[in-house]
A = this chain, B = another copy of it.
């Protein structure tokens, strides 16, 4: 049925060794022989079995990727960055999500032992950081795409959360705003602390509400602050969902954005273009983070040591109607 290296060897009148050499090294083979072998390979449409190659070489030329969810709004960007890079290098990309509890984590660990992939890319491990650190210590190349400031004990790609928070504050300050309401995600995320620190460095405020990274948090934070009659002329939301909730609450309260209150988000999700008004936001370079992490991992698999300190990619302020340029 399937064409094997033995078929090619027989048809070309050489040994399997020679076919393998033509396939892999290219060197050390008489050019006429090599040409003949290549002709046969083309004619029989021979492609080496990836399983057999992997077994013989002890490496699968496959990268694993572990994510807690595939439906998060920015996950597609990360995945695309990873997939483009990994494919261009001729590697396969094996996807895992571990969404069925501890059993599913165990199954994933099994895949590591089974050598299903040569290296691992991880997004947001939440409760898996220890396990991953352990795998890394045991020799599995691992790179984390870190949008939450975990600062793990293994290589990672992060973004400038602190500078991003500062850029939001700079922009609002330059537009003449002086009384910000800040609505954050959970304070136990490193990114939240950094975004906040960067922001209040430039624009100090006593008005900070902690919540989740959800629209409901944004809506309720604004509603309560208005109800408490605490004055603010701008909102710095720690992500775009919070910002969307804030926009809604402000509109329902009869306030105009940006005339009465300017709003700045974080992430630059696709929906940021579609809010009313469109959202000024601090863009996280998710696709670039994905491709940078993949490049680091592939370099590591290629033999280069992976740097231990995080690679930090810059955020960028995207100015739209909710907080226009001054």
Contact = CB atoms under 8 A, between A and B. Distances in A.
A238 to B, nearest CB: 16
Interface in A43-85: 45-52, 54-55, 60, 62, 69-73, 75-77, 79-80, 83-84
A37 interface: no
A302 B270 CA distance: 39
A244 interface: yes
Interface string A81-113: 001100110101111111110001001001101
> Within the oligomer, what is the number of copies of this chain?
2
A229 interface: no
A90 B111 CA distance: 10
A87 B100 contact: yes
A99 B93 CA distance: 14
A71 B116 CA distance: 26
Contact of A80 (B2, B55, B97): B97
Contact of A215 (B45, B92, B274): B274
A178 interface: no
A14 interface: no
A54 to B, nearest CB: 4
A273 interface: yes
A228 interface: no
A51 B54 contact: yes
A287 B71 CA distance: 10
A275 interface: yes
Contacts of A80: 69-71, 97
A96 B87 contact: yes
Contact of A83 (B70, B115, B251, B275): B70
Contact of A274 (B51, B97, B100, B275): B275
Contacts of A79: 70-71, 95
Contacts of A271: 270-271, 274
A206 to B, nearest CB: 29
A32 interface: no
Given A92-B111, A271-B271, A275-B276, 10 more contacts: A48-B114, A51-B116, A71-B79, A71-B80, A87-B98, A87-B99, A93-B94, A215-B273, A270-B271, A274-B274
16 contacts: A46-B113, A47-B114, A50-B114, A51-B54, A52-B55, A70-B79, A70-B80, A84-B100, A87-B96, A87-B99, A87-B100, A92-B111, A93-B94, A93-B95, A248-B276, A276-B276
